[in-house]
Amino acid sequence: MLQLTSRAKTVTCDGMVRRDFLQVGALGALGLSLPQLLAAKAQGAVADDHDRRNVIMIFNLGAPSQMDTFDPKPDAPVEVRGPFKPISTKSPDIQLTEILPKHAELADRFSLVRSCYHTGAAVHDTGHQMLQTGRLFTGGVNTPHAGCVLEYLRGRKTDLPAHVILPEPMGNTGGNLPHGQDAGFLGKAYDPFALMADPSKPNFQVPDLLPPKEIGQARLERRRRLRQIVEGTMRDFEASESAKLMDANFESAYRMITSPAARDAFDLTKEPPALREKYGMNRFGQSCLLARRLIEAGVRFVTVNTFLTVFDEITWDIHGSKPFTSIEGMKEIVAPMYDQAYSALIHDLVDRGLLEDTLVCNLAEFGRTPRVNPAGGRDHWPQCFTVYFAGGGVQGGRVVGRSDPNGAYPAERPTPPAEVVATIYRSLGLDLETTLPGPAGRPFPLVDFGAHAINELF
C-alpha cells in the first residue's frame, strides 16, 4: 500500500521518511510508454483490432459443486447426484440444476468447460493462483494475475486504472500462499486497484478515490509537486527505484482523484434504483453492477470476488458443518444471489452492446467431491470442475469437455489452468508466445510451453 498522507510521517520500504503526501492507497501504474507499446506491438503482443476487448473475471471463491450446479448427474447414485434436479435450458446442449434458473434462461449466451482439473494441492490458495495466473507459485516465482499482464502490455485507456478488484482482494482461506491477485514478478507498479469497500452499503464511497477531508484542492495541487517537496535532503533517495515507483504511483493517483469521469464511474447512485435491484442489493450483486460501469468507463479488466474468505460466512465452500456451508445454505442463499447478479450482468452487457467486446469468465479454484460427505456437504476436489465463458468472441450455448458419470474426472478434453488463462489471452488478442520480463530479467512466456487456448469456445 502506497501511503501519501498529509501530516503524518510515511516510512518507505527503504526506511526513508517523507511528509505531506496524499493518502491514496495502492494504485496501478501510469501504463505503457510509447516505446513499450511499440515494442509490444512489434512482437505481436498487442493486436490493434482486439484493443477494445475487456474482461470481467468472476472468481467463485470457495468453489461450487459441479454436480449441484453446472454438471448435473441425474443417473448417478443419490450420494453422488445430490438433492437437486436437472433442468433444461435455452441451449439444447446444456443442462443445469434447478438452483440456477436464471442461468438456464440465458444458456445460449455462455459456454461451459466441464473438464477442468489441476494437479496442485486441494487447498484454496493453490487453486486461486493457478486459475488466475495459469501457474502454481513455486520456487519463489510469483506469476502475475492475467489482469496485471494486460495492464503491463497495454496500459490504461483513461484516468481509471487498467485493472480493478472488487470488492477487495481475497483474504484468508486457510493457507499462507499468494492468492494470485497481484502483479507478481512484474512489480507493484502493475498491482490492481482494490476497491476495499462494500458497494451495496447506503453510504458507499471509494476510500482511495477522494483526498482526506483536511486537504483542500489548493493543497492537493501543491502535493503534486512531489520532487519539489523532497528536493535537497532526499537527493539520494530520489535516484532510487523506490522513488521512481512512488512518483509514478503519485501521478497515477493524482490523475484518478482529480478526474470527474473516474469519480463518476464508481458512483452507483447514477444507476436507476430498479436496475440496482435487478442485480441484487448485496455485496456481490452491486460489485457486478460496478464492474459493468467500470468497463463502460474504460477499465480493461475487472476481477469480482464472490466472497472474500471461506470462514464464518455462507459461501460455495460446502463442507456441510460450521464454520463452512451446507448444501442447503448454498441452495437458499448463495445460488439465488449468484444467479440473480450474473443474469443481470449478462443482460445489461447485451442491452448496452458491450458483451461482444467483454469476456465474462466465471472461474473457481477446484470442484467438490463426487460423493456427499457424512456432514451432508462436499469437500475439495481439484480433479474435475467446471468453468464458463460468455462474450469476448466466445460462442454461447456450447459444452466443451465432459466429465465421467460421477463428475470425478475428465472423460473428454481435460483442461488445465494454463489453458483457461490462455483462453482469456486469446480473447484479448494477445500472442501466447509473448514474453514478460521475469525474475532476474529472464524472458518469461505468458503461458507454459504447449498450453493452448480452448479454441472450441470461439
Buried b (16+ CB within 10 A) or exposed e, 114-145: bbbbbebebbbbbbbbbbbbbbbbeeeebbbb
Q: Looking at residue 415, what is its pLDDT?
A: 98
Q: At 415, which amino acid appears?
A: T
**Residue 3 and residue 21 in contact, taking contact as beta carbons nearer than 8 Å:** yes
Q: What angle do CA 304, 133, 244 make, to 5 degrees?
A: 85
Q: Determine the 3-state secondary structure of 387 from DSSP.
A: strand
Q: What is the pLDDT of residue 31?
A: 41
Task: For the chain, list the domains and their CATH numbers.
Answer: 53-202+275-457 (3.40.720.10)
Q: Which residue shows C-alpha cell 480473447? A: 427
One-letter amino acid for residue 36 of the chain = Q
Separation of alpha carbons 55 and 303, rounded Å: 8
pLDDT in the model for residue 262 = 87
Give the C-alpha separation, 381 to 402, whole Å: 16
- Residues 387 and 405: their CA atoms lie apart, in Å, by 18
Average pLDDT by stretches of 10, the chain with 458 residues: 34 34 34 47 53 95 98 96 96 97 98 98 97 94 97 95 97 92 96 96 82 51 53 51 54 70 93 98 98 97 97 93 92 98 98 98 98 96 98 98 98 98 98 94 92 97
Q: Residues near 421 by Cβ (< 8 Å), separated by ≥ 6?
A: 131, 132, 133, 134, 146, 447
